[in-house]
Copies of this chain bind each other. A is one copy, B any other.
Amino acid sequence: MTLHRSAGAGARLALDASGGDLAPLSNVEGAKAFVREYPDSTVVLVGDVDQLAPLVGAQGRGIELVHAPERVEMGEHPSQAVRRKRRSSIRRCFELVSEGKADAVVSAGNSGAVMTAALLVLGRLRGVERPAFAALLPSLRSGGRGGGCLLLDAGANTRCRPSQLAQFAVMGDVYARKVMKVASPRVAVLSNGEEAEKGTELTRDALELLRHSGLNLLGYVEGKDIFSGDVDVVVTDGFTGNVVLKTSEGTASAMAGLLRSAVERAGLSEKLGALLLGPTLTGLKKVVDYAEYGGAPLLGFAGVGIVAHGRSSGKAIKNALRVARETGEAGLQGELERAIVESRRWLRPDSAERT
């Protein structure tokens, strides 16, 4: 049986205190900031209690500690480490969800480790071939807040089948409706051109399957369309999805860096200009900043999991907790299960793996 504890008001969120480059300090900081903003919620910090207790200190209202002595280290093979370390913080987090003691998991640890733990402990939602890692990318229209475009798979499954891409579209559509509050999400397959003759065997077959889905299907879109505000859900294989995510991150930080160095080299009037423009430049940075953006949901597991960026600051952790709270609130899991069951009418799993 799948547990559907409702989150939202009174949400209990399990936070992997050992995951992320800045753990456990930023994680504790993020948890504190979150419960200050949402005093009706509880964060269960999962990690080395001896280390965590002094960090949490007296300000601990709304924060509980659960001991997990092991952690997945940076150098380890993530999925092997998760299998071996049965007392690791990330496994314990998902156990809390499966035991009904938490509504959702947030981790800034290695996304491969998070996927493995979710699979081992929660398992997949009934009928889901492959759970996906979804990333919410900013669009011009959304101004980087809410809205944006959901890209999946953003890295969990390097190689995919057409039926898996079609399921990603079904799950993305549900997420866009329930969490992003888009009435009729525009769904598309990522390709190297908009014309039907473009793409690979994978994209063509996925598009063909989706023509029978009843989704609001645009067809193919290109990489630039992701940021245009003209599409809500874009599906692709995890290899390409990872490339999109990293390319976008690289472009944005290169632009921000160039702006910074240009201002440093510039004369007094330009420095004054930068000062006056301060809030706007900060706003721009937010668009590409994971700290503002919160985490990326895992879709297709029998429970809610949110992956935060590995370099998450306290603010990023706080925002990922907020995303977890909203995701739980939306009753996403039940709707995902219904949509996957319903998709069997038009979707038959196929056999050949293609990328």
Which A positions have Cβ atoms within 8 angstroms of B? 77, 138-140, 143-144, 155, 158-159, 190-193, 197-200, 222-228, 238-240, 242-255, 257-259, 261-263, 266, 269-270, 272-281, 283-284, 287-288, 355
Give 13 pairs: A residue, B residue, CB < 8 Å, sorted on A. Answer: A143-B261, A193-B242, A223-B244, A228-B250, A251-B252, A254-B287, A263-B277, A269-B276, A273-B277, A273-B278, A273-B280, A274-B280, A277-B277
Which of B158, B197, B200, B225 contacts A239 (CB under 8 A)?
B200
Tell me the nearest residue of chain B to A264, going by C-beta.
Answer: B280
Complex CA–CA separation, A238 to B257 (angstroms): 28
Say whether B227 contacts A253, CB under 8 Å. yes
Complex CA–CA separation, A143 to B272 (angstroms): 22
Say whether B262 contacts A246, CB under 8 Å. no
Tell me the nearest residue of chain B to A242, going by C-beta.
Answer: B192
Known contacts A222-B242, A273-B274: does B253 contact A158 (CB below 8 Å)?
no
CB distance from A156 to the nearest CB of B (A): 10
Query: Chain B contacts of A238 at CB under 8 A?
Result: 192
Which of B239, B248, B284, B355 contacts A247 (CB under 8 A)?
B248
Which of B140, B244, B250 contacts A225 (CB under 8 A)?
B250
CB distance from A192 to the nearest CB of B (A): 4
Known contacts A263-B280, A273-B273, A277-B273: does B239 contact A254 (CB below 8 Å)?
no
Say whether B200 contacts A223, CB under 8 Å. no
Complex CA–CA separation, A280 to B277 (angstroms): 12
Say whether A276 contacts B272, CB under 8 Å. yes
CB distance from A137 to the nearest CB of B (A): 9
Query: Chain B contacts of A199 at CB under 8 A?
Result: 158, 239
CB distance from A320 to the nearest CB of B (A): 20
Tell me the nearest residue of chain B to A248, going by C-beta.
Answer: B251
Say whether B223 contacts A250, CB under 8 Å. yes
